[in-house]
Each structure stands twice: as structure tokens, then as C-alpha cells.
Structure 1
Amino acid sequence: MTSTTPPPRPAPVVELVSAGFSYEDGPAVLSGVDFAVAEGRAVALLGRNGSGKTTLLRLLSGGLRCGSGSLLLDGAEVAYDRKGLTRLRTTVQLVVQDPDDQLFAASVGQDVSFGPMNLGLPEEEVRLRVREALEALDIVALADRPTHLLSYGQRKRAAIAGAMAMRPRVLIMDEPTAGLDPHGQERLLDALQRLREAGTTVLMATHDVDLALRWADEAAVLAPSGLRTGPVAELLADDALLEEARLRRPWGTTVARLLRTHGLLTAGAREPRTPEDLDAWTGTGAASARQGS
């Protein structure tokens, strides 16, 4: 009898170890948190309002300093001095929820170039990074557009382009689809897919469990009992965890349960996670099920 050993999990790029944080004169927002972001993954961070999602993102990106525990980058503890934070911020970039808190230059191109210029890079290298970032987010045509004339969705993509111009290994985003219409969400997700294909690790905080199930490889759920991590489909099928975290069950999870209840989805078969997946399944999976009956 032979056994297969699962492939080793990629080493964490950035990691919180027993991390805790409290705002001044307030109770602990996070306590004893262990959370690792591995290379090449797409991770959805979920939790109710006030659960500490934004605080966790800011700890990972160096915007806040752990009150207890530590932040590791490639296995080494981050020093909160100029050298240590520069190293962290060239590896990990945070895009905040409101793009107006991040955009400040007169034009999109100027805004995207700000980070690379601050690194002291040669002018040609800065131009290359700006062009690559604008292409990745499909906003090359907006390079000379004043930032105050952009639509909300365009401002979101411009803010992400500014982070991407730093060529981070890890891109962290706080509610990136909030405020976008369905078309805007699809364009943003297409851009994120291109970034992932280029090797960028992406961590996204979101309230949208359907988006998390569709998009992520892994999930991290902040609940009163602590942080739970694991494969996204597994965590978002845990009814007790969802209830504790005040999250609803994803549409795709409910559909998959219904199909299994009626014997229409075999163990190990890929679950439909979106209405489009279900449409495709009705043309293939359902036909196969009928032929096998």
C-alpha cells in the first residue's frame, strides 16, 4: 500500500506570532493571534464589524505595532526602525478601504510613481514600474487623468496600482470591492487575477462570504473565540463558526449541500460556487448524474 504525502506548505512571507493590540485606553482588540500569509496564496479575512480585521491588516503592514507578540518577515522579527519598516513596506503593501485616503497627487501617473520615487530608484525604473502597474490594473488610459475626476472604481484601481508599483510580494486590501457596482467588482477581480498570475500574494478583508468562497484559496475568520484559518470551502461550511462570527452561509455552500442531499454531487466533485458555475454544472454534471443513474 502506498501513501501520498501532501506537498509542503509554502513558508510564510509575513507572520504574526502571539500578537495582541489595544488602542489607547481601550480593551484588547486582538489577543494571542497567530496568523501566517504564505507565498502564492489568495486569502480572505472575514469577521463581523469591530472584530479587528482592519487592525490585523495594519499590524501585518507595519502601520500599527504589536502591543504583544511579534511580526515576522521571512522568519525574522521586524524592527520598527527606518531600515526595518522600509524592508517590510517594500515586501508588503496595504490598500485601505477608501481610495481617497490613499490618493493625493494631481494625476494618476504622479500618484502611482510616488512610492518608487521615494525608494530612490532611477527615473527609467520608476517609469517602468508605473507602466507595469497601470497595465496590470487596466488603467493606462488614465495616466494623465486628474485623480479628482476619476470614478470611484477608477480611484480604487489607481490606489491598488500605487501599491503594485512598489512590486510587493504581498498585497493587502481592506474591503476592496466595497462601494463598487457588479461591473466594477468584476473588473477589479479580473485585475487581481492578473496580479496573482504574476506571482503576487493577495490578502483581502471582506464581509462578502460569496466573494470569499469564489475567489480565495484560504480563509481566516475572526470570531470572539479567536482566529480560525483553513481552506475557504471548509471554514465557510462550518455553521457553528459562521454563527459565532455573525457571518451568513455562502450561497455556493448551500447549493452544494442541496445537490449532495439529492445525490447529484459526488464526494470530491468540484462544488459550484457561483450562479455561473451552477449553469455550467447543469449542462455537464447533471447530465453525467442522469447517465450514471
Structure 2
Amino acid sequence: MSEPALVALRGASFAYEDGPTVLSGLDFAIHEGRALALLGRNGSGKTTLMRLLSGGLRPREGRLTLEGRPVGYDRKGLTRLRTTVQLVVQDPDDQLFAASVSQDVSFGPLNLGLPDAEVRARVDEALAALDITALADRPTHLLSYGQRKRTAIAGAVAMRPRVLILDEPTAGLDPDGQERLLATLAGLRATGTTVVMATHDVDLALRWADDAALLTPSGAHTGPTAEMLARTDLLGQAGLRLPWGVPAARLLRANGLLAEDAAGPRTAEDLAAFAGAVAPPHG
């Protein structure tokens, strides 16, 4: 990609106190407008990487840049970063703490010192984006798991970040909840938010992401999703299996049913529609 990275780690290393090195000499970039899936085995450093990108952790070596400028870890620098990048952790109960949904979603904008009218506008906008306007006054402890997930994401969206980083956002959701969340993320992307999703679900990554980053012991390997998720060598290093859509596309191409440069099926519905289109007539 030729355009400069919106957010990037360069030569970044990190180790927790009295622990082994988690990341070493890592180069990682987020490009504006690209949906990015972050994949890797448990313990590969995905959560550490996300916290480094959002300013929750500071690299021991290397640097974090925002639009090419090094990020400062003073109040001014972190405010600049956190109004650009927001992280939503996997468990919403680690993020929700206020009495009601609207109070929780308003916390970030209030901390920015925004006028009350601006805070209300941001809260209303975030609740609408996550389709939880009707829950504004609901006590957070009475929410379902899926509603808590949406509220946690709304709190990040209310900061109007350019980059939204989500740690396993579909974990624990039923199929309908997953579909609703993906529709919400599509809406956020349409309004200009760049979304990064950490996931173990290679089929979801193939379906959803423009680019995939595989976190392996040799570093992060990033590229177009279909290309990266066909790399069985890197998938093995990352502790991941091949998504079903990759061999399905190979089979279609081998039988002359899909052009070499055409995108393969990304969902079961894609494959069913394709199969229907090429099925021989009866009679």
C-alpha cells in the first residue's frame, strides 16, 4: 500500500514486568479505510498489540506513530491518540461501569471536557449507530450479553474515533447477534471509521476483512485477506486452519467455473448462489 499508515508501530518490543518478551521488533500498520482482521493463536500477543496501538501500553523499544508523527505519552499525546483510536475489549463487563447505558456511553466525551450539548449529540449518535437507542435509560446490569457488547462499542463510538479496534467482538454472540453486529460495523465503515477486529474465526475474517494480519513467532504478516488466508505455512505458524472458502474457490477454478482473477465465495450463501447460477438445466 502506497498511502502512509494512519497508525503504526515500528520496531516495537514489549515484555510485561518479570515476564518473557511478548513482541519483539514488530512492524505493524493500520491503513485508513481498510477493514483489518488480526489473527493468531492464544498467547501470540494480539491483546498486547491492540493495547500498544491504543496507548494502553507503551513499547519498551520502538515507537508508535499517528499519521507519521511519534505519539507522546503525556496527557496531550495520549488525548490525541485516544480521540483517534479506541479499543473495545473482549469482555464488556471489563468496560462497563456506569449505572445506565447513556451514562456509560457519555463517559468518554465528558472526559474530553466537551459541552453538554455536544456530549448529548455524541451519545445519541452512538446509541443510534449501535441500534440501542431504546436502551438509553436501561441499567447496565439488566442488559443481555449482546446488549452489553453493543453498549461497550457505543462508548468507543461516542469518541468518534477514526480507528475502532475490537477484541473478539463476535465471541459469545448467537448467529443473529453476529449478523446484527456485522451490519453495525458496515454502517460505521460507511461513515468513515476504520475497523480492526481480532478474531480466531478464519471464516469470518475471509468474509469480512479487506486485509488480514497473521501474528506469528516471526512477526506480523499482512496482506489481502484471500491471499493471506491461503498461506498454509503462515496459518500453521499462527495456529489457524484454512478457511473453507479458500479450497472452495480452488475447486471452482480447477473446474473452470471461476476465473483466476475473480473473488471466490466468502459465505455459504455466496456458494449457494454461485452453485445455482451454474447448475445444469433439468429435463
Where in structure 2 are the equivalents of 1:199-278 lying within 5 Å? 199-278=192-271
Identify the residue that residue 188 of structure 1 maps to in structure 2: 181
Q: Matches of 1:79 and 1:246 in 2, distance apart?
A: 35
The offset of 1:26, in angstroms, is 1.5
Query: In the TM superposition, what is the alpha-carbon distance from 1:184 to its structure 2 partner?
Result: 0.7
Select which of 117, 139, 143 maps to 1:124.
117
1:200-230: CA deviation from partner (whole Å, max 9, x where unpaired): 0001100000000000000110111221010
SS in 1 for 2:58: coil
1:168 maps to 161
- Code of the residue aligned with 1:114 in structure 2: it is F
SS of 1:48's equivalent? coil
Would you identify which runs of 4 or more consecutive aligned residues in structure 1 move more than 2 Å?
A: 8-11
**Structure 1 residues 213-254: Cα deviation after superposition (integer angstroms, max 9, x where no partner):** 000000110111221010011000011111121100001112
Q: TM-score, normalised by structure 2?
A: 0.97
The alignment status of 1:99 with 2:92, answered yes or no, reads yes
Letter paired with 2:252: L
Could you tell me which residue of structure 2 aligns to residue 25 of structure 1? 18
Alignment RMSD (CA, Å): 1.2
Aligned to 2:6, the other structure's residue is in SS state strand
Q: What is aligned with 2:137?
A: 144
Q: Which amino acid aligns with 1:86?
A: T
Deviation at 1:40, TM superposition (A): 0.8
Q: Which amino acid aligns with 1:117?
A: L
TM-score w.r.t. the length of structure 1 is 0.94
Unaligned runs of 5+ in 1: 1-7
* Letter aligned with residue 278 of structure 1: L
Q: What is the alpha-carbon distance in structure 2 between the residues aligned to residue 174 and residue 201 of structure 1?
A: 14
* Equivalent residue number for residue 5 of structure 1: none
* SS in structure 1 at match of 2:43: coil
The total of aligned residue pairs comes to 281
| Cα deviations by residue, 1:158-198 (Å, 9 ceiling, x for unpaired) | 00000000000000011111111111111111100000000
After superposition, residues 41-120 of structure 1 pair within 5 angstroms as: 41-120=34-113
Q: Distance in 1 between matches of 2:186 and 2:17?
A: 39
Deviation at 1:11, TM superposition (A): 2.4
